[in-house]
A and B are shown apart, each in its own frame.
Chain A
Amino acid sequence: MTKKVEYWIKIPFGPIHPGLEEPEKFILTLDGERIVNVDVKLGYNLRGLQWIAYRRNYVQIMYLAERICGICSFSHNHTYTRAVEEAAGIEVPERAEYIRAIIGELERVHSHLLNLGVLGHDIGYDTVLHLTWLARERVMDVLEAISGNRVNYSMVTIGGVRRDIDEKGKRLILDMIKYYRSIMPQIEEVFLHDPTIEARLRDCAVISKRVALEQGAVGPTARASGLKVDARWSERLGVYPDLGVKPVMPQDVTGEKPHGDVFDRAAVRIGEIYQSLDMLEHALDQMPEGKIKTFPKDNILVAKLKIMVDGEGIGRYEAPRGELVHYVRGKKGSDKPLRWKPREPTFPNLFAVAKGVTGDQVADFVLAVASIDPCLSCTDRVAVVQDGKKRILTETDLLRLSIKKTREINPEVKGDPTPVGFGCSR
């Protein structure tokens, strides 16, 4: 009886690849097709924002915070603003709170539709990508009409919002809600009832409740694993309790117990789009008249913050991807913060996915991290760990091994066994 030898192969996944939107590196340890371990290396896109923030005042950092992410730019700006408002003790007018909630929910709709499209693309269904991204255009147009921008809306300021939503804006949003109510059953049908897509998404990258808890997973990832979490709901943030916010669990959409796979995550996103549409309707209905910001001009705001910020504040908000936290600490007499730290929802989710994908096939990894969009990088070299000893294989070694294997399988193949040049053999 021959002894089975286990080969563990390490493959770099990233950092630069045409399929990756952002450079990030995962090192997959594989046993055949099965993923044994995932190691995450971050920082390829680190822009040193916290370092820059030491040299900016509170109002300037708003623009910096907004540019952390294009898709959830409102969320970052909003959460940072909340942190400063807590540190300074500033109250926000009620109408401004409603406008914040409206922009936040519009952003959630577009972000979730984008995410579902990317999911469709990653399983090879570009028709689904085009369907969802076409639907997404409508909410982008509404955001442009209200704020003037398709990304980086600059709607929030410390102590309120910059722009009001007038009657025309209200009508646009109501028309948009009607449009999404008509198209969402179609998208739901595609993701939850199409047999091919369902077969691909089910039981893929299961994050158990325990792993989600240990790795501090947030947002749709955590809810799909059965954790009843939502920062808007648990924080009793602004007017959200009046709008009837509650965590959307997979059983609310599919009627089944949460399993923590990719299917459940897609289901949670679809359920949240429906919830956002309801909340938008309530918000437009209940929005009171009144002023929209506490401080009329930015120079007054900078001067006031210099006196008012004394101490520390934490802002928490449920961005489309999950709980977002910003921390601000300042001292009286200085218009610059002593510390500003943002924490994005992807950070804990990344480590949760890395744990959850263990034991799955390599092909599932792309789907598992579909929300971050990585792709398999070219394997220019491979490290093989055999009997505890590690050796690096170059391209020539790989080619030689490949030829050897081909000859073993089919002795009929003729030709020179030693490869010449790079990437070609005679």
Chain B
Amino acid sequence: MADDNRIMENVDNVREPTKEDTVAETIKSRFPNAHVEIRENKWGRKRVWVIVPREDYKALMKFLLELDPEAHYSIGIEQDYGEEIGYMSHILLHYDNAPAVSLLVDVRVPKDDPVIPDISDIFPIALQYEREAAEMMGIVFEGIPDSRRLFLPDDFPEGIYPLRLDEKGIPEEIVKNAGHPYYLKGGDK
């Protein structure tokens, strides 16, 4: 009887690999330098978080299109990690087969060499997110076909990146107060 129970326990432990597991395993085996992790939130939604070195980044993005030629590029997020600058892409694989695989690919580069390869030849909409990341965070996208500004006005000073947390962010002097009656600079002016 005891043996039977043990067998039943093992049956419970063995489960079918989910879509997320399969994607994570494939990425792990193809790109051993990438850090792959599956996290589950409180309402049972799984996401695959990938941190990939700059050298493998473009190859990984191309590989995602092999996994699903109809992959949906959802958002590109530029980030300031202090010593490093990051660019994270959220991509949905197998979107028309619910629940879709939610995949986040993060690439981090040092602040003194913020060069990331451009992926707009793989996901054309990524170009617009990259233009935003370039002007807001100062990331240089290697081989970007259109490096004009998207959001910032043309007379905004060069070399200032509004969303950076270091000295390259907006200094207090260039914040324009547009005559707001409740804006009290320094408390009493």
- Which residues of chain A have a CB within 8 Å of any CB of chain B? 41-43, 46, 48, 50-51, 54, 85-86, 89-92, 213-216, 227-229, 233-238, 313-314, 316, 323, 325, 327, 329, 338-339, 341, 343, 347-348, 351
Q: Is B95 an interface residue (CB 8 A)?
A: yes
Q: Most B CB atoms within 10 A — which of A46, A48, A50, A234? A: A234
Residues of B within 8 A of A348 (CB): 125, 128
Residues of A within 8 A of B79 (CB): 329, 339
Cα distance A214–B74 in the bound complex, in angstroms:
11
Residues of A within 8 A of B104 (CB): 314
Partner of A43, one of B42, B151, B165: B151
Residues of A within 8 A of B42 (CB): 85-86, 89-91
Query: Are B163 and A51 in contact (CB-based, < 8 A)?
Result: yes
How far is the CB of A314 from the nearest CB of chain B, in Å? 6
Query: Are A314 and B95 in contact (CB-based, < 8 A)?
Result: no
Cα distance A213–B72 in the bound complex, in angstroms:
7
Query: Are A51 and B162 in contact (CB-based, < 8 A)?
Result: yes
Question: Can you pick out 17 interface pairs between chain A and chain B where the beta carbons lie within 8 Å of each other?
Answer: A43-B149, A43-B153, A46-B152, A50-B163, A213-B72, A214-B123, A214-B125, A216-B73, A228-B95, A234-B98, A235-B102, A236-B45, A236-B99, A338-B80, A339-B80, A343-B74, A351-B128
Partner of A91, one of B43, B74, B92, B153: B43
Query: Are A51 and B128 in contact (CB-based, < 8 A)?
Result: no
Residues of A within 8 A of B88 (CB): 327
Residues of B within 8 A of A238 (CB): 43
Residues of B within 8 A of A48 (CB): 162
Q: Is B124 an interface residue (CB 8 A)?
A: yes
Cα distance A237–B100 in the bound complex, in angstroms:
12
Q: Is B60 an interface residue (CB 8 A)?
A: no
Query: Which residues of chain B from 121 to 167 have a CB within 8 Å of any chain A CB?
Result: 123-125, 128, 136, 149-153, 162-163, 165
Cα distance A43–B136 in the bound complex, in angstroms:
12
Interface contacts beyond A43-B150, A216-B125: sample of 13 additional A-B pairs, CB < 8 Å, sorted by A: A46-B151, A48-B162, A50-B163, A86-B42, A89-B42, A227-B95, A229-B95, A233-B98, A235-B99, A314-B47, A339-B80, A341-B78, A343-B75
Q: Is B96 an interface residue (CB 8 A)?
A: yes
Q: Say yes or no: A215-B77 contact (C-beta < 8 A), given A85-B42, A234-B98.
A: no
Cα distance A234–B77 in the bound complex, in angstroms:
21
Cα distance A341–B124 in the bound complex, in angstroms:
21
Query: Are B124 and A214 in contact (CB-based, < 8 A)?
Result: yes
Residues of B within 8 A of A90 (CB): 42
Query: Which residues of chain B from 3 to 46 have a CB within 8 Å of any chain A CB?
Result: 41-45
- Which residues of chain B have a CB within 8 Å of any CB of chain A? 41-45, 47, 70, 72-75, 77-80, 88, 90, 92, 95-96, 98-100, 102, 104, 123-125, 128, 136, 149-153, 162-163, 165, 170
Closest chain B residue to A325 by CB distance? B75
Residues of B within 8 A of A351 (CB): 125, 128
Closest chain B residue to A97 by CB distance? B43
How far is the CB of B136 from the nearest CB of chain A, in Å? 8
Q: Say yes or no: A327-B125 contact (C-beta < 8 A), given A91-B42, A213-B72, A313-B41.
A: no
Q: Say yes or no: A54-B151 contact (C-beta < 8 A), given A89-B41, A90-B42.
A: no
Closest chain A residue to B101 by CB distance? A234
A interface, over-half SS: mixed
How far is the CB of B41 from the nearest CB of chain A, in Å? 4
How far is the CB of B81 from the nearest CB of chain A, in Å? 9
Partner of A341, one of B72, B77, B149: B77
Cα distance A51–B41 in the bound complex, in angstroms:
27
Cα distance A233–B92 in the bound complex, in angstroms:
13
Query: Are B152 and A43 in contact (CB-based, < 8 A)?
Result: yes
Cα distance A227–B102 in the bound complex, in angstroms:
17
Closest chain B residue to A239 by CB distance? B43
Closest chain B residue to A342 by CB distance? B75
Query: Are A327 and B151 in contact (CB-based, < 8 A)?
Result: no
How far is the CB of B9 from the nearest CB of chain A, in Å? 28
Cα distance A422–B92 in the bound complex, in angstroms:
55
How far is the CB of B164 from the nearest CB of chain A, in Å? 10
Query: Are B41 and A236 in contact (CB-based, < 8 A)?
Result: no
Cα distance A236–B170 in the bound complex, in angstroms:
40
Closest chain B residue to A86 by CB distance? B41
Cα distance A91–B43 in the bound complex, in angstroms:
7
Partner of A347, one of B47, B124, B128: B128
Q: Most A CB atoms within 10 A — which of B88, B125, B165? A: B125
Q: Most B CB atoms within 10 A — which of A54, A215, A216, A229? A: A216
Cα distance A41–B149 in the bound complex, in angstroms:
8
Cα distance A339–B80 in the bound complex, in angstroms:
8
Cα distance A229–B163 in the bound complex, in angstroms:
32
Partner of B72, one of A86, A89, A216: A216
How far is the CB of A350 from the nearest CB of chain B, in Å? 9
Query: Are B99 and A234 in contact (CB-based, < 8 A)?
Result: yes
Cα distance A233–B41 in the bound complex, in angstroms:
17
- List the 6 closest A-B pairs by CB distance, nearest first: A43-B151, A216-B125, A234-B100, A228-B96, A343-B75, A214-B124
Cα distance A85–B149 in the bound complex, in angstroms:
34
Q: Say yes or no: A341-B75 contact (C-beta < 8 A), given A215-B125, A234-B95.
A: yes
Cα distance A229–B94 in the bound complex, in angstroms:
10
Query: Are A325 and B150 in contact (CB-based, < 8 A)?
Result: no
